[in-house]
Chains A and B, each alone.
Chain A
Amino acid sequence: MALAPKKNKLSLWQRIRQNSLAYKFIAPTIVAMLVVHLIPIVQGLYLSLLDVRLTTLTLYLKAPFVGLKYYIEVFNAIFGIGEDGASSRVTGLINAASNTLVYTIWTNIGTLGVGLILAMLLNRNFRWRGIARTLVLLPWVVPTFVTGTIFNFIWLEQGGLANRILLGLNIVDTPITWLIGPNSLYALVIATVWRGLPFTTIMFLAAIQVIPTDLYEAASLDGANGWQRFRHITLPLIKPIAATQVLFGLINGFYGGYNIAVQMFGGGTGFAGEYADLLVPAITRQTWERHLYGFGSAASVILMGMLLIFVGIWYRTFRDSLRAE
């Protein structure tokens, strides 16, 4: 019955038979993952080596093999090598790659940092705690494409909510241009953080709530101040949750942002401009609007490589916090 999983001396076949219910339970999931994930991913990897464009799309996997041609183009574009020989295909990617890095770093800092502060503020005892917690969760029910719509209105240079508040509080003298130019990436970061905060806050709050209060009391008796209690009790104990949140943040940073950007920029037409264009929107444009399917696949693989490097760093950093579950 394999109720308590443990090492046993049964043969493989016996162990498979013993767990037959488990196989029946995962069978539909395996089929779904094969059809929607594994087979398309393998095809996509192969596609990145082919010259699939509008004229050769019908050939699909029989399209001319070009090997690493598109990889080299994307790679050169991202690192600014050999721009002379580069075709117009890559121009959109040069900024998108660095924007994606900046976007990922800032959305992570914002969501995790503010999320932790919010969780600690909400963990105190006060009369309106229940209401405050519910209100903080509100952005979560707002779909990301609606988030983009809302922030499109908020960042308007004339009469937008952000400038209205900043001018009203005399923080700035003249309206800030948010949606065009260098500020646009931060406009995107803030919208993303706004939408991401509730989830991170809930997770941190849950982690903080299970920390036994006598730990803090003992530390206080030993003379630890607030910062020391935070540094040596709270932080180490929420590290496992923080690790998960960072991983989600990395994935969302590299692969996300599409829905918000599409609705937020260009009055809903979607192009963010060179300062705030991310890789996923850029790749999507190259693939589907310019019909460069092989090129888009190669760029996607490189994007995945970028993420995997960061996931590797993440794993080395948090290895000790990841409990074997």
Chain B
Amino acid sequence: MGVSLSKKAESARPARATINYKAWLFDRGGDILLLILIAFMLLPILFLILGSFKSRDEFAAASSFFPSEWKFSNYSEMWTRVKFGTYFSNSLIICGVTTLVVTILASMSGYALARFRFPGSGGFSMAILGTQLVPGTLFLIPLYMTFLWLKNNLGIPLIGTNFGAIVLYVGFFLPISLWIQRSFFATIPIDLEEQAMVDGATRFQAFLYIIMPLAGPGVISTAIFVFLTAWDELLFAWILNVQTIPVGIRQFTGVAGSQNRYELLSAASVVIILPVAAMFFLLQKRFIAGLTAGAVK
């Protein structure tokens, strides 16, 4: 990949009468280092994609980088060998609903924290940050027992169901999400709301019609962040017996009949990455704007 300096960068450097060879060499060294690092970031993904087209024997032999024969049928077999379709739709439902609910609630609470200094706001903030310092292994047992109790005594089906996972994940990801939202709201000038309220809008209307439309990047970054994290959650789903992708995918290596089908596992992994990758690259600019806004305002 050709990486070259543009004129703009050159002019940003201090004017020198002679060409600064040392700086030039330094820059070329940087280019090479960047190429190496990009290769480090890309090769594992490329390796996964190529592996997903290998045959079972070729994968096991690990003899070549490229498949000698492209086996596209892996992508159809992976759906039948384990119940991947079920896991996939479970994950989509759980992560979709979680993302929707968390984003709405995080917008409201994030706004409240960014704009109001209410009695208790300090304690609330501390509680939010505090939740991030507690290991999941500590509250997994009580959650499991509570869910079990609710199921046995009140008949609320929280164990082994998508509903249970949604309840869990909403509570899980809400604190950190509202923190992202709060930082973004803090970057929006307060004058806009004040103007709207002078014009007769209520505070709620100002929030809904003035601030939320401006908060696009913040909402998008929160939403992607929640989806990505929920998509990736293994421990709690496994203990609560929810059949999501991270739980189900382990069957490609562990269950009789589909044991050690690493080429199918690779194909499944590619399919798992696709929804997140699509979402991410469609919204990349706003996502990054939202995520970094609060940090560097």
- Spell out A's residues near B (CB within 8 Å): 1-5, 12, 15-16, 19, 21-23, 25-26, 28-30, 32-33, 35-41, 43-45, 47-48, 52, 60, 114, 117-118, 121-122, 124-128, 131-132, 134-147, 149-151, 153-154, 156, 158-161, 164, 194, 197-198, 202-203, 206-207, 209-210, 213, 217, 220-221, 226, 240-241, 244, 251, 254-255, 258-259, 262-263, 267-269, 280, 283-284, 287-288, 293, 296-297, 299-301, 303-304, 307-308, 311, 325
Contact = CB atoms under 8 A, between A and B. Distances in A.
Contacts of B262: 153
Given A138-B42, A269-B254, A251 B132 contact: yes
Contact of A15 (B3, B119, B139, B273): B119
Which secondary structure dominates chain B's binding surface? helix
Contact of B141 (A30, A44, A121, A145): A44
Given A161-B43, A259-B234, A121 B30 contact: yes
22 contacts: A2-B116, A3-B115, A22-B112, A26-B113, A28-B108, A29-B178, A32-B105, A118-B34, A121-B34, A125-B12, A137-B284, A142-B45, A143-B231, A149-B48, A150-B48, A154-B47, A161-B44, A213-B12, A255-B136, A262-B250, A280-B135, A300-B137
A151 B168 contact: no
Interface residues of B, number: 109
A255 B273 CA distance: 23
A124 to B, nearest CB: 6
B133 A307 contact: yes
B197 A206 contact: no
- Nearest 3 pairs between A and B by C-beta? A36-B171, A159-B62, A268-B253
A153 B146 CA distance: 39
Interface in B33-88: 33-34, 37-38, 40-45, 47-48, 51, 61-63, 65
A21 B204 contact: yes
A147 to B, nearest CB: 8
Contact of A3 (B65, B134, B194, B276): B194
